[in-house]
Chains A and B, each alone.
Chain A
């Protein structure tokens, strides 16, 4: 296995709100490897963005607070560093791009200046010709045509896809070892999405970056990821290599997600099966499994006992009591059901 660049252990994040304390992230652990892509998938509000923002130290405090966890960047804990120490990590070691390129760039500053800002903070390159040249190089690297002209332009003169490219240029300016992409393509249309993903892959290969990709688009995951974390209600409920997550999904939630995905096969007449119900209230997180209320295979034990991650394959874990040896008969039914989904859902073959 490649070198571990980022190690997150037992991360917990809470937010104080008028309605009480929301436990948004309830113990998340994952590793990011050099040159590999880790995808974090899950529905809105499951804590995927909050987890990476906690890693970056971008959780607004108050109302947010990180209550426990270790985040190791190449072996050194970076969680709870002072602002000035963290500023040496952000932008230099870990780059980040955000969901909405329309609002993520400062409207009153030229894109060139916004790019060189990163360079001047981390590499001491000021405003001179060298900074401008670096900005042009970076814009060329993200395939912005007429880069020499474009550095002088303002964000409003760029289209959405172009702005996301500018964001990427900013994030990779200092050649970070980790790039966190928080739903980088959600706000873009499909053709632009493909281009941006392609660009990210190229840049990753070139700089041997570790890419942490947050998305709720399973298609994007299949295309990009090496490993996948499936998050639900503030926890990672299934983790594994991308093929295992797709072809040999083990957690009922992952299987439910797959059944809710449209097939691209021509003439397929399968009805999409939604997952009934809604995620648990994180003001009062469930004592047992977070998926208990919606799970078609829920057992008595699930209600008040939190399942540990069970090893279900090579480097493939699932947090579900079905994998416990005492629930094997139930598991057999479950697998039978699952094979039916496989048969119906030809997209996987």
Chain B
């Protein structure tokens, strides 16, 4: 990070050498890099990520506290869209395997995986504007932040890629499950197909989807830079990008560590959740 030419201070307007020296002293930038790093580690151990170099009087903790909930809310809504949609579409595709509806869904999946989110974001905004114009009032706001209504479209756009991926995962997993011996057993017991699906196929088929949820949560709650920018959402992602551009060392470091910890936490959470769905994987009891 320090190899990148420039530093947080040089982004400001021209200043005299004295002011610069003073600022460097204030932020500790006149110290050797190693010393700065040790200082950072010491503070972090106490839960303090330091203060921002570029934003007046804001600490990194402050930035996380006020903007992470925005990203998290958006991410969780996106996750709900992605999971619900993925399971639903995947199930439909598996039920109608080889039929037209399956092929349509799989076509949508390829689109969802390969088209980047800023394209969907722009398209979504365009469509929404036209709709709002057509009906003469605001059905959903096109951008900005405030109510749950502001979240719907960005969350959908953010979740599309994951939804497409989960659809494919669900479809292949279900197709594997329906050929299992225990489904034949269930048929031999005289269960109807409705019951076989809900009691036997769904729970076994959803396991791979749950496995993927951990990384998906992390991806959605942190990976919304582009969507946040397009929809002018004051999420954490925006600050991350800004900090990188302005070489705001403490913010970059702090957010990276925070994201990392969050990812690990989510994966652990999903692993625990897994134990509830699949009895074969549960915490060992003595």
Q: Which residues of B contact A (CB under 8 A)?
A: 180-182, 184-193, 195, 199-200, 203-204, 277-280
Q: Which of A90, A100, A156 contacts B181 (CB 8 A)?
A: A100
Assembly CA distance A156 to B185 (angstroms): 16
What would 10 more interface pairs be, CB under 8 Å, given A98-B185, A118-B190?
A: A83-B192, A88-B190, A90-B187, A91-B190, A107-B204, A121-B190, A121-B195, A167-B185, A170-B185, A171-B188
Interface check A87, CB cutoff 8 A: yes
Mask, A76-120, CB within 8 Å of B = 1, is: 000000011011111110011010100111111110000001100
Q: How far is the CB of A111 from chain B (nearest CB, A)?
A: 11
B185→A118 contact, CB < 8 A: no
Q: A98-B181, A104-B182, A106-B200 are in contact. Are A56 and B188 (CB under 8 A)?
A: yes
Do B189 and A170 touch across chains, with their CB atoms under 8 A apart?
yes
A-B contacts, CB under 8 A, total: 78
Known contacts A107-B182, A107-B204, A87 near B188 by CB under 8 Å: no
Q: Which residues of B contact A96 (CB under 8 A)?
A: 188
Contact residues in A for B192 (Cβ distance below 8 Å) = 83-84, 87, 121
* Distance (whole angstroms) from the CB of B181 to the closest CB of chain A: 4
Chain A residues within an 8 Å CB radius of B280: 107-108, 154, 156
CB-based nearest B residue for A153: B279
A122 at the interface (CB under 8 A from B): yes
Which listed residue (B184, B189, B277) contacts A117, Cβ 8 A?
A: B189
Tell me which residues across on chain A come within 8 A of B279, comparing CB atoms.
107-108, 110, 154, 156
Question: Chain B residues near A171 (CB, 8 Å)?
Answer: 188
Contact A109 B188 (CB under 8 A): no
Provide the bound-state CA to CA distance between A121 and B189, in Å: 9
Of all chain B residues, the one with the shortest Cβ separation from A92 is B190
Q: Does A194 contact B (CB under 8 A)?
A: no
Query: In the complex, what residue of chain A is closest to B282 when comparing beta carbons?
Result: A154
B202's closest neighbor in chain A, by CB?
Answer: A108
21 contacts between A and B (CB under 8 A): A56-B188, A88-B190, A90-B187, A91-B190, A92-B190, A98-B181, A98-B185, A98-B188, A103-B180, A103-B181, A103-B182, A104-B181, A106-B185, A106-B200, A109-B200, A117-B186, A118-B189, A118-B190, A121-B189, A154-B279, A156-B279
Shortest beta-carbon distance from B276 to chain A in Å:
10
* Distance in Å: Cβ of A339 to nearest Cβ of chain B: 44
Is A90 in contact with B190, judged by CB distance below 8 angstroms? Answer: yes
B184 contacts which of A87, A98, A170 (Cβ < 8 Å)?
A98
Q: Does A58 contact B (CB under 8 A)?
A: yes
**Are A91's CB and B200's CB within 8 A?**
no
The answer to whether B191 and A87 have CB atoms under 8 Å apart is yes
Whose C-beta in chain A lies nearest to the C-beta of B191? Answer: A121
Say yes or no: A58-B191 contact (C-beta < 8 A), given A103-B182, A156-B280. Answer: no
Which residues from chain B contact A83 at a C-beta distance below 8 Å?
A: 192-193
Minimum CB–CB distance from B128 to chain A (whole Å) comes to 42
Quote the shortest CB–CB distance from A262 to chain B (angstroms): 31
Nearest-neighbour CB distance to chain B for A168, whole angstroms, equals 12
Chain A residues with CB under 8 Å of chain B are 56, 58, 83-84, 86-92, 95-96, 98, 100, 103-110, 117-118, 121-122, 154, 156, 167, 170-171
Q: What residues of A have a CB within 8 angstroms of the CB of B191 in the complex?
A: 87, 91, 117, 121
> Roughly how many angstroms separate A86 CA and B181 CA in the complex, as a whole number?
19
Residues of B with C-beta under 8 A to A118 = 189-190
Sort A-B residue pairs by CB-CB distance and give the 4 closest, nearest first: A91-B190, A90-B190, A103-B181, A91-B189
Q: A105-B182, A107-B204, A108-B204 in contact; A90/B188 too (CB < 8 A)?
A: yes
A89 touches which of B180, B190, B195, B200 (Cβ 8 Å): B190
B195 contact set on A, CB distance < 8 A: 121
Smallest CB separation, B141 vs chain A (Å) = 43
Q: What's the minimum C-beta distance from B231 to chain A, rounded to whole angstroms?
A: 40
B214 to chain A, nearest CB (A): 19
Chain A's closest residue to B189 (CB) is A91
Chain A proximity of B208: nearest CB distance (Å): 13
- Contact A91 B188, beta carbon cutoff 8 Å: yes
Q: Which residues of B contact A122 (CB under 8 A)?
A: 190
Interface centre among A95, A108, A121 (most CB of B within 10 A): A108
Minimum CB distance partner of B182 in chain A: A106
Counting chain B CB atoms within 10 Å of each CB, the highest count among A56, A83, A86, A104 belongs to: A104
Interface pair B199/A109, CB less than 8 Å apart: yes
Given A87-B192, A103-B182: A108 in contact with B187 (beta carbons within 8 A): no
- A108–B203 touching, CB < 8 Å: yes
CB distance from A83 to the nearest CB of B (A): 7
Partner of A58, one of B188, B200, B204: B188
Name the residue in B189, B192, B203 with the highest tally of chain A Cβ atoms < 10 Å from its Cβ: B189
Chain A residues within an 8 Å CB radius of B203: 108-109
Q: Give the most central of B185, B193, B204: most A CB within 10 Å.
A: B185
Residues of A close to B204: CB separation below 8 A: 106-108
Chain A CB within 10 Å, residue with most, of B181, B192, B278: B181
B189–chain A nearest beta-carbon distance, Å = 4
Alpha-carbon gap, A91 to B188, bound state (A): 6
Q: Which residues of B contact A170 (CB under 8 A)?
A: 185, 189
Most buried by B among A83, A105, A106: A106
User: In angstroms, how far is the closest chain A Cβ from the Cβ of B280?
Assistant: 5
Cβ of B193 and Cβ of A105 under 8 Å apart? no
Asked if A108 and B278 make an inter-chain contact with CB atoms under 8 angstroms apart, the answer reads yes
Interchain CB contact under 8 A, A117 and B199 = yes
Bound-state Cα–Cα, A110 to B184, Å? 17
Q: How far is B189's CA from A58's CA once the two chains are assembled, in angstroms?
A: 11
A90 is contacted by which of B189, B200, B277 (Cβ under 8 Å)?
Answer: B189
Nearest chain A residue, comparing its CB with the CB of B278? A108
Complex Cα gap A98–B66 (Å): 60
Question: Which residue of chain A lies nearest to B279 when distances are taken between CB atoms in the complex?
Answer: A154
